[in-house]
């Protein structure tokens, strides 16, 4: 249903753009500057073409407005079923790449998809990670300085 209304909405938008571009700013419409006083040469006079394009513009604009409101109502009905918080607590969000957590970080970290970097080795922690030579691999994560005494 939503796809059908959206397709109609897009078609109406393109038709509305085309009809507006066909109109002349002076109100001549499809007359294209021809001033046929006898009325024999053309199907419509400039005034008739302008009136027809104006009416068509109003009809297309009304249809565009109706489809816009319909799409809004459909989206609101779809969204009222559940809130963002409901989706987050029921686990319907996109899962993280690695949802396993080390045992020392608690059981909540694995269920919420939080991935913590591994703790630094004892040598890097004791030096504070400030020495010129690093004893840890760069893939182990940031090194935190020891607490101040």
Query: For residue 78, which of 5, 7, 9, 13 has the smallest C-alpha distance?
Result: 5
Q: In the prediction, which pLDDT does 27 show?
A: 53
Q: How far is residue 118's CA from residue 101's CA, in Å, rounded to a whole number?
A: 10
Q: In the prediction, which pLDDT does 117 show?
A: 74
Q: In the prediction, which pLDDT does 144 show?
A: 79
Contact, 109 vs 95, CB < 8 A? no
Q: In the prediction, which pLDDT does 80 show?
A: 78
Query: For residue 21, how many other CB atoms are within 10 A of its CB?
Result: 7
24: Cβ contacts below 8 Å, ≥ 6 apart: 31, 32, 50
Residues in the chain, pLDDT under 70: 26-44, 81-84, 87, 90-114, 120-141
Contact, 118 vs 141, CB < 8 A? yes
Q: In the prediction, which pLDDT does 41 show?
A: 56
Q: In the prediction, which pLDDT does 74 show?
A: 92
Q: In the prediction, which pLDDT does 118 show?
A: 75
Q: In the prediction, which pLDDT does 23 show?
A: 84
State both tokens at 87.
């989706």
Q: In the prediction, which pLDDT does 72 show?
A: 94
pTM of the entire structure?
0.45
User: What sign does the CA torsion over 134, 135, 140, 143 have?
Assistant: negative
Q: In the prediction, which pLDDT does 119 show?
A: 73
């Amino acid at each position: 249903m939503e796809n059908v209304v959206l397709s109609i909405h897009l078609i109406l938008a393109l038709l509305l753009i085309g009809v507006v571009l066909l109109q002349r700013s002076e109100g001549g419409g499809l007359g294209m500057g021809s001033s046929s006083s006898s009325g024999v040469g053309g199907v419509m006079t400039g005034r008739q073409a302008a009136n027809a394009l104006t009416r068509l513009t109003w009809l297309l604009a009304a249809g565009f407005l109706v489809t816009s409101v319909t799409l809004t109502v459909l989206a609101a009905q779809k969204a009222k079923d559940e809130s963002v918080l409901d989706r987050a607590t029921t686990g319907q969000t996109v899962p993280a790449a690695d949802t396993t957590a080390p045992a020392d970080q608690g059981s909540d970290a694995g269920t919420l998809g939080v991935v913590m970097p591994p703790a630094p080795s004892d040598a890097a922690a004791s030096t504070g990670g400030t020495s010129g030579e690093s004893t840890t691999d760069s893939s182990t994560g940031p090194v935190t300085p020891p607490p101040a005494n």
